[in-house]
Chain A
């Protein structure tokens, strides 16, 4: 099993914050922000030393919970400071972006990072449709088309035009191209039928997140079926599972910590917006409808002592088929970083050595 550390740039607020998303920009504290980014590098040096294979970054907007609106900037920052670990850009929210720009920036990053880049392309969480005024009903289609265009921009050697449904370009010919040829290891992220199908058709990896093993296992099973349909079999490294982990010395301590976690997302949209979003933003797991996550807290699927967690990782491998775990070792947005550091040390000493051969 490979492991990835999900880095969210822990912003520790100096005063209580409003709980509505978008969080007012005026409540941002520049000094706290500077501390968050400095702390990121210090923490990741430890993560690299412990032996994590990847560090991952994501795109989220208008909130301190994950302080990385541009994951490409985060990835460049990390690639410059860390020498060995792979940088997993999971990833640009494709429907929000200019796909040609995404292709160019990833090619730059992969080259600057000397071929250490991993890429995930995705549709993004429901609230992100509000960020740049996009119609959530179009997000799925824009994602599929944008991903296809990114792949084409990386691989087509002659200048070409793109006559799309949502994107139109008359001439595309990117420089540089990725160092890893034809392109870095790339995942389509998401449990939807469309995302799994896209990944299978283009021989990409599949990334799932947060759901129970059974629920994300439906998606990875569907993905493997579709890969077989297209005549190939993904390796375990091509299935990544992002999840929360609450690790403690004993099961009791871990369960106690779990009980203290809020059951509501730290920053939520107004009720009327949430409700409207639920009707506009349709989501599915391998074709089975599921509600968009608009206000609930994300579940924690690994909870317990090192022994318990090792067993859960084994189950995860069996049920989900994941060969890479992308872990958040403490809920992002927490006020204190000490529990995260303690969990990280414990993970390095008592869990990681025992899950390598799973």
Chain B
């Protein structure tokens, strides 16, 4: 059943042919993947029940040609904004995972006013000193990414494709604290949800509070029993809080859970 409804599409932007996977109807939700590349998770399926989910594959990842042109994350963001323009999306919610979290912050900074809300899943824009992206065999990578590797349904990312994208990842990821980006965050008033798994072994969950310190409308949520790949470890929990936030923004702090047992 996994990802049955997702269909592949391509869009040309900045001379790149950019692949994306799309499913669902409703408000558009653009997703930017992590350093391993685009990989659909059960959370994509769950989100597609309420949103038109468009998961881009950034140029240089997956089967796309090696990307030696994009020098910085702001450049990558501007390519993505053009791709979004080509799809005719005026307003779109935005979600970025890890490496894609940093890309999403730059997209939100460049497309101010067009992003009603932003979700950052274990974002890699601010990292503890010495943090290293997972590397090694697919098994070693899985141990770093997941608290529940048994819940992974998609095949692992092709090691060759991953290796091909690594120079791009290193270039775009930048230093563990990016002064240029951080100096802009106090002006980014987009309602933002930052999620960290309590078992994240790639980026310390304590980085979450720095986003809250820097951004004027930021909300931090810890997902218990999830590691770096929150949406794979706990897709239902991830989708519930993301959906609630995208619907209600800061008012998502008000519970709608009912406690009546019998009328």
Contacts and interface: CB of A to CB of B under 8 A. Distances in A.
Interface stretch (B33-41, B149-157, B159-167, B206-214): B206-214
B200 to A, nearest CB: 13
B225 interface: yes
Interface string B187-231: 000000001001000000000110011000001111111000000
B131 interface: no
A179 to B, nearest CB: 22
A148 B198 contact: yes
Contacts of A167: 224
B220 A159 contact: yes
A164 B241 contact: no
B240 interface: yes
B208 A160 contact: yes
A165 B254 CA distance: 19
B227 to A, nearest CB: 14
Interface stretch (A2-10, A86-94, A150-158): A150-158
B224 A164 contact: yes
Contacts of A168: 257
Nearest to B237: A163
Nearest to B251: A170
Interface majority SS (helix, strand, loop, mixed), chain B: mixed
Given A148-B198, A171-B253, A161 B237 contact: no
Contact of A163 (B208, B213, B223, B253): B223
B225 A161 contact: no
Contacts of A175: none
8 contacts: A158-B220, A160-B222, A163-B221, A163-B240, A164-B225, A165-B225, A167-B224, A170-B221
Contact of B221 (A148, A157, A162, A165): A162
Contacts of B234: 163, 165
B259 interface: no
Nearest to B198: A148
Contacts of A162: 221-222, 224
B252 A170 contact: yes
Contacts, number: 55
A145 interface: yes
Contacts of B237: 163-165
A147 to B, nearest CB: 11
Contacts of A170: 221, 252-255
Contacts of B195: 163
A196 B213 CA distance: 35
A170 B238 CA distance: 13
Interface residues of A, number: 18
A69 to B, nearest CB: 23
Given A148-B224, A170-B252, A170-B255, A161 B241 contact: yes
A125 B103 CA distance: 50
Given A159-B220, A164-B224, 14 more contacts: A152-B222, A158-B208, A158-B209, A160-B209, A161-B220, A161-B241, A161-B253, A163-B221, A163-B222, A163-B238, A164-B225, A164-B237, A165-B234, A168-B257
Contacts of B255: 170
Nearest to B225: A165
Q: 5 tightest CB-CB pairs across the interface, nearest first?
A: A161-B221, A164-B224, A158-B209, A170-B253, A158-B212
Contact of B224 (A157, A159, A165, A171): A165
Contacts of A159: 212, 220
Interface string B242-263: 0000000000111101000000
Contacts of B252: 170
A148 B252 CA distance: 23
Given A148-B198, A165-B237, A170-B252, A160 B225 contact: no
Nearest to B195: A163
A160 B213 contact: no
A160 B221 contact: yes
A158 B241 contact: no
A149 B221 CA distance: 12
Interface string A212-254: 0000000000000000000000000000000000000000000
B50 to A, nearest CB: 17
Interface in A120-179: 145, 148-149, 152, 156-165, 167-168, 170-171
A156 B209 contact: yes
A160 B206 CA distance: 11
B178 to A, nearest CB: 20
Nearest to A171: B253
B222 A157 contact: no
Contacts of B219: 161
Contacts of A171: 253
A164 B221 CA distance: 10
A270 B220 CA distance: 47
A157 B241 CA distance: 21
B259 to A, nearest CB: 12
A164 B199 CA distance: 12
Interface string A22-49: 0000000000000000000000000000
